[in-house]
Amino acid sequence: MRRITVGTLSCLVSGDGPPLVFLHGLAGSAGEAPFGLPGHRVIAPDQRGHGRSERRPEDLSRAAYVRDVVTVIETLAGGGPVALAGQSMGAHTAMLTAAWHPGLVSRLIMLEGGVGGSEDDYPTRLGTWFASWPVPFPTRTAAAEFLGGTPFARALADDLAEGPDGYRPRFDADIMEGAIRPVAEHARWDEWAQINTPTLLVRAEHSRLPDAEVQRMVSLRPDIEVATIPLSTHDAHLDRPGEWVTLITEFLARA
């Protein structure tokens, strides 16, 4: 596995074959990518404000995140088109990339991500939660226990930066709140409806995606495939990585 810097982005690249670009969710990192995907070169950026990429970018708009994806595809994937996968906020970014730059995306895979938009002020709630972490954590184990002991908690703990006084996240709470707020502000139904790229929408068994939203997504684009990963939560790619890789592999094989 190689870590490559593209502008202000830090990316992980592994494997050989046709490229698949993976976009992690809010507070995640490139390390969550399905690097064991058979027969593919997986390219995963730490998205802006996350991981080892620029920590405090001025622009947290949806357009800025999409521009980053375009830069990664042009720089590390020969200009595409590529299979593009994302989880949660990363799935939303992938969707917008496919809508705004259809020539760059050959296949779209969205895990636990919809069109966005919400009347619930969850960005403020998330920002408050991130700010409440008792950092620095004395150990990664202590961090994982505080964060709930889930696979996602362990992934967060593994990605903490070690300093002389303990372990701290590689992101700032206000940046996380600022990054997710544009997702919550607008439902992107127009963008969703205009995509004609073959699409796989993956839900967790205990999904955060409302059934009504999924039903409308399917009604607008009845050609898409929908799958569910059993015994999984919103972070199904970490809960059930084998099932996640199998879904991707089978979908791409039908291309």
Edge-to-edge strands, sheet with 19-23: 2-6, 9-14, 41-46, 19-23, 82-87, 105-111, 199-204, 225-229
Q: CA 45 from chain center: how many Å?
A: 10
- Residue 255: pLDDT band (50, 70, 90) is low
CA 234 – CA 220 distance, rounded (Å): 24
* Per-residue model confidence as pLDDT tens digits over 214-235: 999 999 999 999 999 999 999 9
* Per-residue model confidence as pLDDT tens digits over 109-165: 999 999 999 989 999 999 999 999 999 999 999 999 999 999 999 999 999 999 999
Q: Which run of H or of E encompasses 22?
A: strand 19-23
Is the CATH number of domain 2-117+177-253 3.40.50.1820? yes
Domain range annotation of the chain: 2-117+177-253
DSSP structure class, residue 144: H
Side-chain half-sphere exposure of 108, counting CA atoms within 13 A: 30
